[in-house]
Structure 1
Amino acid sequence: MIDFHCHLDLYQSAPAVADESQRRDVGLLSVTTTPSAWGGTTRLAKGRSAIRTAIGLHPQLAGQRKHELVLFDRYLASTLFVGEVGLDGSPECRGFWDDQLEVFDHVLQACSSGGEKVISIHSRRAAKDVLDQLDRYDRIKTPILHWFSGSRSQLKRAVERECWFSVGPAMLAGAKGRDLVAAMPNDKVLLETDGPFAQVRRQGLNPWDITAALGPLAELWGVTAHETRQRIEANERALLALVTDALRRPTN
């Protein structure tokens, strides 16, 4: 299985976490919060086939780091994965909302103009605005809404947009999170930890802790944990096939 949203470079002992994930055969999408972190983060994946690195610029850093979009453009062709990007409507982030919009629009434009990318998207208190932006770029086929926390009507809109959703043990620990996950199409659900930031019972999550999401998902879906694992693994294959198939298409 794959942890589709993990901040590998921000673990205190990142190489040890990377090695343990590889030993346990847990894949992980290592998202970056700034383009300048790309070099160090990609080195963590070197020699570890289970790790893929995404290029990102976190919305909470958009005001300080939008000048790094030149680095984003430089590295984008080096990966099939983008993240963490998006918008954050929290009060502490509203002061640089225009910067967030500028950065997110730049990212989506770059992804739409190039080959298909898997994009891990932050949408805290900004689900409507994220979906508004995605609607402007219908060529983007594989957006993943990371830890989606919008309303049920916004979730319905995201489903109609054919978004994917990455959910994890921390999201499933709360009633609202479970309610939202229950309403998601189970063929669009992927796993994540959001480690090392996300916690369950005050314990930070490691990539291999994605297995803790299987029990709650099985309960929500009314199936066994084994059937849930099979469903998740089928979803992973389906999502990655969309990207690899895009690579084989002839260009005009």
Structure 2
Amino acid sequence: MMDLHCHVDLYPDHSEILSDIENSGYYVLSVTTVPSAFNGTAHLTKNLSNCRTALGLHPQLAHQRVNELSLFDSLCGVTRYIGEVGLDGSRGYAEHIEIQKLVFEHILSKCCEFDDKILTIHSLNAVDEVLALLRKYPNCGTSILHWLLATKKQVNRAAGLGCYFSVGPAMINSARARKVISWLPKNRVLLETDGPFAKTDGKPALPSDVVLVIEFLSELWGETIDQVQDDLKLTLKNLLSNKNA
């Protein structure tokens, strides 16, 4: 299985998260929030063959770390994975949306210089704006919309742009999020935790906790656990084999 959005470096107990990644054997994407965190995070997981590090600049930090775009550019060729990036239109961050757009557009433009990037994207209260920029930069790579909260029309637009969608345990505790999950194309669904920010039973979610999502999808899709796992493995395989999609 997989966890395609996990903030490994931000867990309070690194030994716990590293042990969970190793013992689960799941394919984990360790996202970063600023370019200056990339090298340290990559070093943290260097002994884990099933963990990859993504290069990110979180929209909530864009107005504070726009000066790190040059560092982003210098590191962009080191990893196939980009994230966490995107836009955030929620209270406290909407006032910085223009600088967020500048940063996100810069990142998408840089990714167009490559043919294999995979991006995990934040779109809270900014779905239309994110989709507009993905449409503007169709060659930026393959996009995964992380923890998407959207209308059915927006979901369909995102699917039309070739987006994937990552779903975590915290989402299945929300009626709104469960409705969104029900609209997602089955062959574009992937798993995430967004740990340590997202919680499971009051504790930071760990990659092994994605089993809760698998159980939920089994009921939603009317499939056995094994069938759901096979579906998800195939979707991950298709994602990783994508080039310039």
**Range class of TM-score, shorter chain:** over 0.9
What is the distance in 2 between the residues matched to 1:175 and 1:96?
29
Q: Please state whether the residue corresponding to 1:91 is helix, strand or coil.
A: coil
Partner of 2:203: 203
The aligned residue for residue 124 of structure 1 is: 124
What is the CA RMSD across the aligned residues, in angstroms? 1.2
Does the 8 Å contact 2:20/2:207 carry over to 1? no
Q: What do residues 193-213 of structure 1 show as CA deviations (whole Å, max 9, x unaligned)?
A: 000010134232011111111
The question of whether the paired residues in 1 share the 8 Å contact of 2:66 and 2:103 is answered with yes
Length-normalised TM-score, structure 2? 0.96
Matches within 5 A, 1:154-169: 154-169=154-169
1:112 aligns with 2:117: no
Q: Partner residue of 1:133?
A: 133
Supply the distance in 1 between the matched residues of 2:151 and 2:203 (Cα, whole angstroms). Answer: 28
Unaligned runs of at least 5 residues, structure 2 = none
Equivalent residues in 2 for 1:1-252, closer than 5 Å: 1-243=1-243
CA deviation string 1:222-252 (max 9, x = no partner): 1111111110111111100114xx6xxxxxx
Structure 2 Cα separation of the partners of residues 79 and 193 of structure 1 = 21
More divergent stretch after superposition (125-134 vs 207-216): 207-216
Q: AA paired with 1:107?
A: I
- Aligned equivalents of 2:212 and 2:12: distance in 1? 22
Structure 1 unmatched ranges of 5 or more: 247-252
Q: Give 2:42's aligned amino acid.
A: T
Q: Percent identity?
A: 41
Q: Deviations over 1:91-141 (max 9, x none)?
A: 210121111000000000000122320000000000000000000011134
Q: Is the 8 A contact 1:87 1:122 kept in 2?
A: yes
User: Using the alignment, how far apart are the partners of 1:114 and 1:226 within structure 2?
Assistant: 36
Instruction: Give the whole-Å Cα distance in 2 for the aligned partners of 1:62 and 1:75.
Output: 17
Q: Counterparts of 2:56 and 2:110 in 1: how far apart (Å)? A: 12
Structure 2 contact 108–137 (Cα < 8 Å) conserved: yes
Runs of 4+ in 1 over 3 A off after TM superposition: none
Q: Secondary structure of 2:112's match?
A: helix
Worse-matched range after superposition: 14-23 or 120-129: 14-23
